[in-house]
Amino acid sequence: MSNPPGSLISHFSQLPDPRLERCQAHRLIDIVVLAICGAICGADSWVAIAEFGQSKYEWFKSFLALPNGIPSHDTFGRVFARLSPAHFQDCFRAWIQSVIGQLDQEIVPLDGKTLRRSFDRASGKAPLHMVNAWAANNRLVLGQYPSEGPVDEICIIPELLRVLSLKGCIVTVDALGCQKSIAAQILSQQADYVLAVKNNQPKLLAQVRQVFDRPERQLRRDPSVDYYETRENGHGRREVRRYWITEQLEDFPQQAAWEGLRSFAMVESQRHIGKQLTVERRYYISSLEDNARRFAQAVRAHWGIENSLHWVLDMAFDEDHCRVRLGHAPENLAVLRQIALNLLQQEKTANVGIQTKRLKAGWDHRYLTKVLSPDPL
């Protein structure tokens, strides 16, 4: 296999080895590449990765040194428990940046996910919570950062933003991240924001609600309010989503405190299931101009992170049931899964789901070679 510029091998070769030199029977890059390939092909534990390596030894030997053969599962476990997650994530971000290139006009949702079975009751270790950045148009993970739990996301989001190149992007964040400091940081990185507003900001929520607390007919006639609507039918359900956005914020005394704040927005979702009708309203603040269609794209992209990333990690990679919990291993294994997902998302020749792609890559090393060598987007 070739090692073109921007490939996995060239980027992850920069990883510092946490082991003493006399303990390095296997090259770190060999261990990392074997683990990435295992994660692609459905090997979801260190034992499975070691067995996968043994079964494909001759193929791996064609492009890896493997001076002492395939490492044992204990070696995989020890190395990833000690490997610096910060350095691993740095290599991940450098690699994915080389694949994507400039992110201009991308929508970047940020959202957290708890790895529910990564807790360790004996030591009192809480389950790992990762805040992920998702490139919605490219359907790729841009980066991740660990936190102590959902509440800690307020402190972690700025750290994750800081390491991302966001010029020209729209960043979307849930209500927990609706903070003046986060809005200011997004603007400082030459991006726009769409921030959800909920009960954790009661005064702000009341202000935004007041703007849209009018009959629909009156809202539609107001030239200062832009409007967009989508309709979806299927599986016995009919859903209408109405998007409203306005730049008329004269009655909002705190506008200057929110850097770049330009608009208030609302989404009204009407769901018809049989004879039952439910109506839900969500509220937002944004640095975007009053373009309801563009606002709708950003909101829908944020909702998509659940289906396109979190659901896939749980269903195709069984992430929620992973019991690896020693040292840094849970965090590093989460990054391995996201590397694998990004590579599988980029491979377009097989018109099947991620789970089937994993199986196909395990069956056919020619297909695995395609997955490992994506063309730049």
What pLDDT does residue 1 have? Answer: 43
Q: Which of 188, 146, 154 has its CA nearest to residue 173?
A: 154
Q: What is the mean pLDDT of residues 338-352?
A: 94
Taking the alpha carbons of 55, 57, 58, 64 in that order, is the dihedral positive or negative? positive
Read off the pLDDT band of 6 (50, 70, 90): very low
Read off the pLDDT band of 126 (50, 70, 90): low
- Judge whether 76 and 50 are in contact, CB under 8 Å: yes
Angle 231-233-235 from CA coordinates, rounded to 5°:
150
Q: What is the mean pLDDT of residues 247-265?
A: 93
Strand partners, 231: 240
For residue 206, pLDDT over 50 is answered with yes
For residue 253, pLDDT over 90 is answered with no
Least reliable range by pLDDT among 69-83, 229-243, 330-344:
229-243
When mean pLDDT is compared over 102-106, 107-111, 269-273, the highest value belongs to 107-111
What pLDDT does residue 198 have? Answer: 95
Q: What is the mean pLDDT of residues 283-298?
A: 97
What pLDDT does residue 275 have? Answer: 82
Q: What is the mean pLDDT of residues 29-39?
A: 96
Please write the tens of the pLDDT for every residue from 138-161: 999 999 988 766 667 888 999 999
What pLDDT does residue 144 have? Answer: 92
Q: Between 180-188 and 153-162, two packed helices, what is the crossing angle to 10 degrees?
A: 10
For residue 338, pLDDT over 60 is answered with yes
What pLDDT does residue 375 have? Answer: 66
How many beta carbons lie within 10 A of that of residue 355, not counting itself?
Answer: 15
What pLDDT does residue 4 have? Answer: 32
Residue with tokens 């063309």: 375
What pLDDT does residue 331 have? Answer: 92
* 3-class SS shares of the chain: helix, strand, coil, % to 5: 45, 20, 35
For residue 222, pLDDT over 70 is answered with yes
How many beta carbons lie within 10 A of that of residue 280, not counting itself?
Answer: 10
What pLDDT does residue 150 have? Answer: 66
Average pLDDT, the chain: 90
Q: State the distance between the two ends of the chain, measured CA to CA, in whole angstroms.
A: 21
Question: pLDDT over 90 for what percent of the chain?
Answer: 72
* Separation between Cα atoms, residue 251 and residue 85, nearest integer Å: 47
- The torsion angles phi and psi of 137, rounded to 5 degrees, stand at -70, -40
Angle 89-133-117 from CA coordinates, rounded to 5°:
70
Please write the tens of the pLDDT for every residue from 58-80: 999 999 999 999 999 999 999 99
For residue 124, pLDDT over 80 is answered with no
What pLDDT does residue 118 have? Answer: 62
Q: What is the mean pLDDT of residues 20-31?
A: 93
Domain ranges of the chain: 8-96+319-372, 169-299
Please write the tens of the pLDDT for every residue from 46-56: 999 999 999 99
